[in-house]
Chain A
Amino acid sequence: MTKEALAKAMAELEEEQVIELVKGLLGGGTAPLEIVKALQDGMVEVGNRFETGDYFLSELVMAGEIMKGAMDILEPHLSGEGAEHKGTIVIGTVKGDIHDLGKNIVVMLLKGAGYNVVDLGVDVPKEKFVEAVKNTGASLVGMSVLLTSCQGALKDTIEALRAEGLNSKVVIGGNYINETVKKHVGADYFAITASDGLKAAAEVFGG
Chain B
Amino acid sequence: MNEKEKLYQERFKRYTTALDCGKPDKVPVVLPLGEWVVKYTDTTLQEAYYYVNKATEIIAGVVGDLDFDAMFGALNLWWPPMHEALGCKQYRFPGFYFEANEGFQYNEEEYMTADDYDDFIANPTKWLTEKYLPRINEEFAEPGSYRASVALVKGAAAFAMHNANNAAAGQKLAQECGIVPAISGMTKAPFDTLGDALRGTKGILLDLRRRPDKVLAACEAIVPHNVAYGMITSAGDTSLPCFAPLHKGAYPFLRRDHWEKFYWPTWKAVIENLWATGKRTLFYAEGDWTPYLDKIAELPDKSIVFCIDLTDAKKAKEFLGGRFCLYGGVPTTMLTYGTPQEVKDCVKQAIDELGSDGGFVLTAGGVAMSDAKRENIVAMLEAAREYGVY
Whether chain B is bound by chain A comes out as yes
Would A175 and B287 be within 8 Å (CB), given that A58-B253, A58-B258, A98-B92 are in contact? Answer: yes
Question: Is there a chain A Cβ closer than 8 Å to B125's Cβ?
Answer: no
Quick check: B202 and A101 within 8 Å, CB to CB?
A: yes
Q: Interface SS of chain A: helix, strand, loop or mixed?
A: helix
Quick check: B205 and A149 within 8 Å, CB to CB?
A: no
Q: Binary interface profile of A, 33-74, with partner B (CB < 8 Å = 1, else 0)?
A: 000000000000000000000011111011001000000000
Question: Is there a chain B Cβ closer than 8 Å to A180's Cβ?
Answer: yes
Q: Binary interface profile of B, 2-21, with partner A (CB < 8 Å = 1, else 0)?
A: 00000000000000000000
Would A58 and B205 be within 8 Å (CB), given that A98-B92, A149-B369 are in contact? Answer: yes
Quick check: A57 and B371 within 8 Å, CB to CB?
A: no
Question: Is there a chain A Cβ closer than 8 Å to B388's Cβ?
Answer: no
Question: Is there a chain A Cβ closer than 8 Å to B333's Cβ?
Answer: yes
A178 to B99, CA, bound (A): 27
How many B residues, CB 8 Å from partner?
29
Give chain B nearest CB distance to A64 CB in angstroms: 8
Give chain B nearest CB distance to A46 CB in angstroms: 13
A48 to B366, CA, bound (A): 31
Question: Is there a chain B Cβ closer than 8 Å to A151's Cβ?
Answer: yes
Question: Is there a chain B Cβ closer than 8 Å to A15's Cβ?
Answer: yes
Would A61 and B333 be within 8 Å (CB), given that A96-B102, A98-B105, A149-B103 are in contact? Answer: no
Give chain B nearest CB distance to A49 CB in angstroms: 11
* A-side contacts of B98, CB under 8 Å: 96
Question: Is there a chain B Cβ closer than 8 Å to A205's Cβ?
Answer: no
A98 to B91, CA, bound (A): 11
Quick check: B370 and A184 within 8 Å, CB to CB?
A: no
Quick check: A57 and B252 within 8 Å, CB to CB?
A: yes
Question: Is there a chain A Cβ closer than 8 Å to B332's Cβ?
Answer: yes
Question: Is there a chain B Cβ closer than 8 Å to A201's Cβ?
Answer: no
* B-side contacts of A101, CB under 8 Å: 201-202
Name the contact of A98 in the complex, choosing from B107, B251, B253, B336 (C-beta under 8 A): B107
Q: Binary interface profile of A, 149-162, with partner B (CB < 8 Å = 1, else 0)?
A: 10110000000000
Q: Which of A98-133 contact B (CB under 8 A)?
A: 98, 101
* B-side contacts of A148, CB under 8 Å: 332-333, 336, 369, 371
Give chain B nearest CB distance to A37 CB in angstroms: 25
Give chain B nearest CB distance to A9 CB in angstroms: 14
A58 to B255, CA, bound (A): 8
Residue of A nearest to B251 (CB): A56
Quick check: B337 and A180 within 8 Å, CB to CB?
A: yes
Question: Is there a chain B Cβ closer than 8 Å to A25's Cβ?
Answer: no
Quick check: B105 and A15 within 8 Å, CB to CB?
A: no
Give chain A nearest CB distance to B349 CB in angstroms: 17
Question: Is there a chain B Cβ closer than 8 Å to A181's Cβ?
Answer: yes
* B-side contacts of A198, CB under 8 Å: none
Q: Which of A175-206 contact B (CB under 8 A)?
A: 175-176, 178, 180-181, 184, 193
Name the contact of B253 in the complex, choosing from A57, A65, A96, A178 (C-beta under 8 A): A57
Quick check: B254 and A58 within 8 Å, CB to CB?
A: yes
Q: Nearest 8 A-B pairs (CB), nearest first?
A: A58-B205, A149-B369, A149-B370, A61-B205, A149-B371, A56-B252, A56-B255, A57-B253
Residues of A within 8 A of B (CB): 13, 15, 55-59, 61-62, 65, 96-98, 101, 147-149, 151-152, 175-176, 178, 180-181, 184, 193
A-B contact pairs, 10 of them (CB 8 A): A13-B209, A56-B255, A57-B254, A65-B202, A96-B98, A96-B102, A148-B369, A149-B371, A175-B287, A178-B333
- Given A56-B251, A149-B102, 4 more A-B residue pairs with CB atoms under 8 Å apart are A13-B209, A62-B205, A96-B98, A151-B336
